Chain A
Amino acid sequence: MENALIVLYGLTMLYISATGRIKAHVKMLFFQGILLFLICYFSADKTNLVNFMFLTFETLVVKTFLIPLFLTKILNKNKIYRDSEPHIPNFYSLVIASIMLFGGFLISNIDYQAFDGINPIYFGVSISSIIISLYLITTRHKVLTNVIGFIMMENAIFLLSLSVAKEMPMIVNMGALLDIFIVVFILGLLINKINESFEDLSVYKLCDLKDCDCDD
């Protein structure tokens, strides 16, 4: 069951790399949140009730509902619907993401003895999801898609930490939450500011903000 959920998680990364609609990205974030919750539910140590409740809160409340809701609000407010011109067309992104996913599986199988006690499917999917998220951040233009890529990387790191240890220390959990909080906080400020100044959310506009212009 766990394995099926993890492969499904890998498939969401493929879908995200092939679609340009930002609403679909947000929906996939929601879906990933549910998947992470189910993976936690099946794999986490339920004897430590506090830790388990914290994991449930983090995955089900924060990752599944709060962040997607916040992103949807920003989408509606700024009326942005798609990342229309990625640097690399979506078809090639899908090809590259598939190869990355395959590469992740290969890495997790290269020296199986060295990864003793680690589920290779967990490891392969999470490593490749991190790399795919980094790739998506570099190829997409909009601030919002970059942030979505970052949150996906957070999700993948969460999955990776699950693969390494069945039970995560509370402090790591809180660190992950803090990261997300900062991302969302900065995103809120940045997007509203850029929108007021430029009426567009392309990160290219940031190139115009040069110091030397002030001298003129």
Chain B
Amino acid sequence: MLINLINILFLLILPFLFIGIINKTKAFWTGRKGPSVFQAFYDFIKLIKKDMVVSNVTSIVFSVAPAITFASILFAGLFVPLAANKSIINVEGSFILFAYILGLGKFFSLIGAMDTGSSFEGMGASREASFSTIVEPAFFVIMASIIALTGNYTFKSISLIIQKADGIGFLIIILAIISLFIMLLVEGCRVPVDDPDTHLELTMIHEVMVLDNSGFDLGLIFYGSAMKMVIISSLIANILMPVNLSFGTSIVLYLVIITILAIIIGTLESSIARLRMSHVFEFIFVMSSFSLIILSLTAITLYGN
């Protein structure tokens, strides 16, 4: 019960801190003091207090899309193990439900963007959809391989994989972490896939889709995007965390790993530039390549001997 409560708190609070730490890291590398780590939370409060401006060409789809997207991300977050390797809802095959619920959220954010009739937002939606076609199959292959290796059909399998970290298992863990990190950058729309700071429509993917949103909806979209990053970071953290840690240690270790991931993302954004659109696909496809290698290595481990 206590663990569930802590996990719900983490799921709700960590997104703001995650964004805050990324921005603080970026400020550090550029020699600035930077905004407070709670700035994302203040922005969220400011946005939900504001009135919404809604274009009169939009339909009901546009008005419900941000809420459905946010709800789907929150619901998907309940399946993922956060601190202490425990997820709030733990059922067999939950990773399939997880991926499809996130897919539903993405679908609504896409049609919400297209509903405005703006050509820019349609372009952003098209790009986002094409990225998803690469990322989602790769995610399925990685999760299926991990489940085949551990023999556990719940999301807990990602915590059990560390026990197989000998020889080939170690390789699988490294490749899975790199792949999930690429997924984190793609889903969180961070550099080098997308630049959250730019507002030049032609280079944007996710930012361009929300140009018409304002007020409460925009706040939900930013919050949901940050929450998605925390959820995927939790997957990485759980791969690295051993199962049999004490309660306190596992919570501290979880927070440390999440913080390190945020610092890595911030450092990455300060050190490299956004990739050209034609190269972004190559970057994302690395995840698919890795997933195929993970699948091969899993097959060798399971049937090779």
Contacts and interface: CB of A to CB of B under 8 A. Distances in A.
Interface of A: 3-4, 7, 10-11, 14, 18, 89-91, 94-95, 97-99, 101-102, 105-106, 108-109, 112, 120-121, 124
A120 B289 contact: no
Nearest to B288: A98
Contacts of A11: 293
A47 to B, nearest CB: 24
Contacts, number: 61
Interface string B291-304: 01101110110011
A101 B281 CA distance: 19
A39 to B, nearest CB: 14
A101 B290 CA distance: 10
Contacts of B303: 109, 112
Nearest to A19: B282
A7 B170 contact: no
B31 interface: no
A7 B300 contact: no
B289 A105 contact: no
B299 A105 contact: yes
Nearest to A109: B299
Contacts of B45: none
A98 B300 contact: no
12 contacts: A7-B297, A18-B282, A89-B278, A94-B285, A95-B288, A101-B289, A102-B293, A102-B296, A105-B293, A109-B300, A109-B304, A112-B303
A54 B67 CA distance: 67
A4 to B, nearest CB: 5
Q: Chain B interface secondary structure, helix, strand, loop or mixed?
A: helix
Given A18-B282, A90-B282, A98-B289, 9 more contacts: A11-B293, A14-B289, A94-B285, A95-B288, A98-B285, A102-B292, A102-B296, A105-B297, A109-B304
B248 interface: no
B296 A124 contact: yes
A94 B296 contact: no
A105 B282 CA distance: 22
Contacts of B278: 89, 91
A97 B286 CA distance: 11
Interface in B240-299: 278, 281-282, 285-286, 288-289, 292-293, 295-297, 299
A89 B279 CA distance: 11
A101 B285 CA distance: 14
A14 B175 CA distance: 14
